[in-house]
Structure 1
Amino acid sequence: MAVSRRAFLGTSGAIGAGTLLAGLGAQSAAADPIAAIGNPVPRPAARNSLRMRTGQPGLQWVTYGYNLPNNANIPEDVWKKNLDWVIREFAPYGYDTICTDGWIESSQRVDKNGYIVSQNDEWTHDFPYWINYLAGHGMKLSIYYNPFWITESARQDRSIKVKGRPDIAVADLTADWDPFTKDKIYWVDPHRDGAKEYVQGYVEHFKAMGVPRLRVDFLAWFETGWDQNLGVVMREHGRESYEMLLDWIDEAAGKDMVVSLVMPNMANHGELERSRGDSFRINDDADKGGWGRLSGGRQDWRPYWTQWSNPFTGLTGWSDVNGPGLIGLDADFLIASSYASDDERRTTVGLFTIAGSPICISDTVDTIGDSAWVFTNPEVIALSKDGLAGKPLFNNNHGYNWDTGSRDTERWIGQLSDGSWIVGLFNRGDEPNTRAIDFAKDLGITDQVKVRDLWARKDLGTMTSYSADLPTHGSALLKITPTEGPVRYDSTVAGWSLGAVFDNETAGYSGRGYATNLDKTDATVSFAVTGGGTGGSRSIQLRYATATGRAADVWVTVTSGSRVAGTARYRLRLPGTGGAWKTARVQVDLVKGRNLVKVVGIGATAPVHLDYLTVEGGPSPKVAGR
């Protein structure tokens, strides 16, 4: 069945979900905590990649703004015009990546192993030409393609052989009855001899060109053959085949290539995808943009693509799996010209930034008008460069899939690697509304702190709380800088993985939350911590509690800098506290700049909670209620 990208972007209601839900192992909407939808898998919590070390989601421009309204691949002259515009207008602010997008069926020119060599057969120049062109301007090319695909041109030429397997024709890796788009692209059958070599060779084909990021789309269609709007669209390949192909891509991409997963079903709260991709799409396509796409539409959860429809609910719903060293949340593209006001533009970029989503411009030089300013605020851009991955305020440990009151979509918080806080307040309503945050109650800070308005680029003075009357669809984005004590990193905005989760219900605890389950082997809480301008030996202090008087051990690991290097590991004994909050200290070595610090459970007989950690040698507040 031929299905166009245009058809896929339709918004008709879901069809025939019953069979699909059974196939995906759909979770019940029962009153289970987050742990019930965050089951650990027998793999690391995340890819061992450069993206995970730096946390940077990416500052990019994509061709989507031409592709969608024209329902066509971008012509080469239009491509060149836009590249030069991005280089001129956005590269000075740190935008460093140009992204191709779908509408790829017309790319049928392939090499001797069946791999495409250009974005479009009508283009004069191939990928290496444009990679070199961009490199000359300090930029990179991200390519949209699925290594599971085989072109019709490769199927028709039996002289095209699998890389490293001259005995196998690429044509023999697929079948007439398994098209992605009829007469243009077909799916690989992963169970055929040579399939692994073909798929991994495709990834290596792009890596050899110097491509830093591969965007792999239509994963749900491959796994289940089903679409939320169209029903059955093609053959179901099944979860075993899907897992096999994700593993092959992950392995071939290695430590230096970013793997962007698009349209994944994310069954069992993403148990496969979270450790095999650097980012995954968490909402419907951007389509034509506008407020309705950002905040409107379907508000409820589904156990298949797309779980949540808009970025506000998608970023909120997946916020328990993001954080330092963990998979990034991709809310799709940004179309500044599609919004009705500058307030909406600030809200969109502010939400994407605080949640750690890529800032991917899809306006073109001909459509952006006077809206480019929203992408060029250096203080907002600095948050993405630091790897900020914040969270909405959590009210309890329930899954957002069944309790939408468990998290506040309109109040977000996060910490930078220097320990300063970022606060985002949003008004999703159609009338002006007040939004507020109390620094003691919501951040655990009792001292007055310095507050800066990042959009206005203006200091607001020292405060203990903040309140703003926000216009319709308006927002505020603040930087909160503590002034006293050692630098404190709060577990409520850390990364939770492999069984570690948020909680705030332990009897006698009066703070706003903590990470728990560190009694489980390998349960991990991760923090992005700066080593300052020099690095060196630092004392890290954990504030923790155990449920009994028995001691528990944890590992404190440090992975330093942006390079994918070794990890130092320190064992720390946590004496039993009988439910009281106490501290334990360990000396570690940090490098200059960003370090990924993890607290990892070794195994204990009673629950272990982690409140926060402090690092000597920098500012931090007094702590409220702890």
Structure 2
Amino acid sequence: MKKLFLSIATALVSLFSMGCSDNGTGWTPDMIPDDPVTPETPTGKTKKAPLYWSVYEYGRRAEIAGTNCNMPLETWQKNIDWVADNLLPYGYDMICTDGFMTMSGSDNAGHAYMTGYANIPLTQLVEMCKAKGLRLGIYDNPLWVHGSLDAPIEGTKYKVRSLLYDPSKDNVKNPNATGDIFTWIVPSHSGAKEYIDGFFKYYKGLGVDFIRMDFMCLFEDGIRGGDGGGRGYGSAEYKLALQYIKEAATKYGVFTSIVMPNMKNHGENETQYCDMTRIVDDTCEGGWDHCSNRWRGNITIDQWPAANNQFEGFIYWSDITGRGKIIADGDFTLIHSFDTDDECRTSISLQLVAGGPIAVADQYNTVGDRVKFYQNEEMLALNADGFVGKPLTTDYNNENSQIWWGTMSNGDVIVALFNREDRTISRGVELSQLGISGTMKCRDLWTHTDEGEVSKVSASLPAHGCKVVRLSKQ
């Protein structure tokens, strides 16, 4: 039944919703990004966007083909080996599960949480990754139930079944819904806080410190982009869930990634309680469509997904990101899906300049010769630094939203010029516009060349191209 639930859920991911246009406020000099000190995690490490590999492409392709979505063990090993050899040396230190594949719990009445993925014990996947110097990240949700409903909740007198929807006392948004595609718990029920705490304690005990929590819009409203999907437990229950999640995740040192959130009131709950949040619709088949073109110029307010392409997601939500703030997640990258090398460079640059993660979804046998775009150490230095840039305007219909900049922790300045158009475009920005007097030494991070002293960064950019430079006074 769990596999059926996930098949239904992942089918929803292929649907999109149109929204109304919403203009930004424009850029003024007082919007110059600052660099507050980034808070430390309980482990003492500074939080930054993760660099990792996901099983997404395998599952997505199998779903479309109508074949078994569970990745065979030998394919797991080939992908893990490829990541260890080609990505781990550049900082991509994690393998992460996703939807599509079987998420199984134990029949043991004493266990409530997921124990297997793709019909492989989680403990085995952890060891396979560990043997190659990698971590395992998990796609799961502490509001889902995978195991026995008769499992006792540690530290309480309750069993898991007492956390399920009770029509006699729970007010939901869609009471006439026939049911939910997931088995959700209700956070306000007694024992829910302890159940969520036990979820993070369990995964930390396995050696997992990254959890990707999906379909939050379905929990909150019972809909995704206007399409039905369940009862909808409301914003109060959603906020309470996030409070419990943050408390437990902080306690056990687990990084939380929220997926498909409604981001109501401009993300007031997500920004308060989450480490990272998705800000764009699903990758699907990737390419320039997902990066820039999909329903360009439309933002939907207070409903998932707000943005349908990465550019508009990063632009629109750039006012809530920054050092020590929530990380914006642009979803998975399929570098082999782009038509040109210029598009590849733009995809990687946009995500790193915006302070987002790079979640590689290409496989060992699909990436071709494009792994090099994931290996640019001068660009990856932005991620290591915790850099988060900003566009000159949050108006995604204004060409200045295609000029980004920000400051590294050592005072160096990053400037990125993008071209979303289908023709060659000239872009430029005077350093004085950024509050910088005089000139700075300029280095192009893709050509790896020094360009001397400049008072302006400019370029003639090919269609879908970019230029990213690092400016230094040294």
The reply to whether TM is greater than 0.5 is yes
The equivalent of 2:443 in structure 1 is: 452
- In the alignment, the residues of structure 2 paired with residue 103 and residue 470 of structure 1 have an alpha-carbon distance, to the nearest angstrom, of 39
How many corresponding residue pairs? 442
- In the alignment, the residues of structure 1 paired with residue 44 and residue 470 of structure 2 have an alpha-carbon distance, to the nearest angstrom, of 24
Change in 2 beyond 3 A, CA 1:69/1:269: same
2:46 to 44, 54, 72: 54
Q: Deviations over 1:366-417 (max 9, x none)?
A: 11011100000111111111111101013xxxxx4xx546783211101110
Measured after TM superposition, the shift of residue 31 of structure 1 is 9.5
- Would you say the 8 A contact 2:10–2:99 is kept in 1? no
Q: Deviations over 1:325-372 (max 9, x none)?
A: 111010101100000011000000000000011011000011101110
The equivalent of 2:225 in structure 1 is: 228
Change in 2 beyond 3 A, CA 1:61/1:287: same
The equivalent of 2:34 in structure 1 is: none
Equivalent residues in 2 for 1:19-418 (5 A)? 49=41, 54-71=46-63, 72-109=69-106, 112-120=110-118, 122-123=119-120, 126-151=121-146, 154-155=148-149, 158=150, 160-165=151-156, 167-175=157-165, 179-181=179-181, 185-228=182-225, 231-254=227-250, 256-298=253-295, 299-303=297-301, 304-394=303-393, 400=394, 404=396, 408-418=400-410
The equivalent of 2:471 in structure 1 is: 480
- In the alignment, the residues of structure 2 paired with residue 13 and residue 280 of structure 1 have an alpha-carbon distance, to the nearest angstrom, of 19
In structure 1, runs of 5+ residues without a counterpart are 18-26, 35-44, 395-399, 484-626
Q: Deviations over 1:133-165 (max 9, x none)?
A: 3234332111110010112x523xx3x222233
Identity of aligned residues (%): 34
Equivalent residues in 2 for 1:532-547 (5 A)? none
Change in 2 beyond 3 A, CA 1:110/1:272: farther
Change in 2 beyond 3 A, CA 1:88/1:33: closer
- In the alignment, the residues of structure 2 paired with residue 12 and residue 91 of structure 1 have an alpha-carbon distance, to the nearest angstrom, of 34
- Would you say the 8 A contact 2:60–2:284 is kept in 1? yes
Q: Deviations over 1:265-307 (max 9, x none)?
A: 1111111110110010001011110101110122222111111
Measured after TM superposition, the shift of residue 56 of structure 1 is 1.9
- In the alignment, the residues of structure 2 paired with residue 48 and residue 223 of structure 1 have an alpha-carbon distance, to the nearest angstrom, of 30
The equivalent of 1:8 in structure 2 is: 12
AA partner of residue 130 (structure 1): L
Q: Deviations over 1:189-240 (max 9, x none)?
A: 22332222112211111112221211111101000001115x2210010111
AA partner of residue 236 (structure 1): G
Measured after TM superposition, the shift of residue 106 of structure 1 is 4.1
- In the alignment, the residues of structure 1 paired with residue 22 and residue 289 of structure 2 have an alpha-carbon distance, to the nearest angstrom, of 27
- Would you say the 8 A contact 1:313–1:409 is kept in 2? no
User: What's the Cα RMSD here?
Assistant: 2.7
Q: Which structure ranks higher in relative contact order (CA pairs < 8 Å, sequence separation ≥ 6)? A: 2
- In the alignment, the residues of structure 1 paired with residue 356 and residue 194 of structure 2 have an alpha-carbon distance, to the nearest angstrom, of 32
AA partner of residue 160 (structure 2): V
- Would you say the 8 A contact 1:73–1:102 is kept in 2? no
Look up the SS of the partner of 1:61 in the other structure: strand
Q: Deviations over 1:506-556 (max 9, x none)?
A: xxxxxxxxxxxxxxxxxxxxxxxxxxxxxxxxxxxxxxxxxxxxxxxxxxx
AA partner of residue 154 (structure 1): S
Structure (1/2) with the larger helix percentage: 2
- In the alignment, the residues of structure 1 paired with residue 419 and residue 396 of structure 2 have an alpha-carbon distance, to the nearest angstrom, of 17
Q: Deviations over 1:573-621 (max 9, x none)?
A: xxxxxxxxxxxxxxxxxxxxxxxxxxxxxxxxxxxxxxxxxxxxxxxxx
The equivalent of 2:66 in structure 1 is: none
Change in 2 beyond 3 A, CA 1:46/1:225: farther
- Would you say the 8 A contact 1:104–1:119 is kept in 2? yes
AA partner of residue 462 (structure 1): E
- In the alignment, the residues of structure 1 paired with residue 321 and residue 43 of structure 2 have an alpha-carbon distance, to the nearest angstrom, of 13
Look up the SS of the partner of 2:464 in the other structure: coil
Look up the SS of the partner of 1:148 in the other structure: coil
Structure (1/2) with the larger strand percentage: 1
AA partner of residue 93 (structure 1): Y
Look up the SS of the partner of 1:347 in the other structure: helix
Q: Could you tell which deviates more after superposition, 72-81 or 361-370? A: 72-81
Change in 2 beyond 3 A, CA 1:343/1:405: closer
- In the alignment, the residues of structure 2 paired with residue 260 and residue 211 of structure 1 have an alpha-carbon distance, to the nearest angstrom, of 13
Measured after TM superposition, the shift of residue 48 of structure 1 is 6.4
AA partner of residue 11 (structure 2): A
The equivalent of 2:411 in structure 1 is: 419
AA partner of residue 229 (structure 2): V
- In the alignment, the residues of structure 1 paired with residue 43 and residue 375 of structure 2 have an alpha-carbon distance, to the nearest angstrom, of 22
AA partner of residue 56 (structure 1): K
Asked whether 1:471 is paired with 2:462, we answer: yes
AA partner of residue 91 (structure 1): L
AA partner of residue 126 (structure 2): I
Q: Deviations over 1:161-204 (max 9, x none)?
A: 22233x432233225988543xxx41112233222211221111
- In the alignment, the residues of structure 2 paired with residue 458 and residue 32 of structure 1 have an alpha-carbon distance, to the nearest angstrom, of 35
Q: Deviations over 1:98-155 (max 9, x none)?
A: 11111255423366231111213x22xx22333233234332111110010112x523
- In the alignment, the residues of structure 2 paired with residue 234 and residue 308 of structure 1 have an alpha-carbon distance, to the nearest angstrom, of 23
Q: Could you tell which deviates more after superposition, 451-460 or 104-113? A: 104-113
Look up the SS of the partner of 2:203 in the other structure: helix
In structure 2, runs of 5+ residues without a counterpart are 28-36, 64-68, 167-176
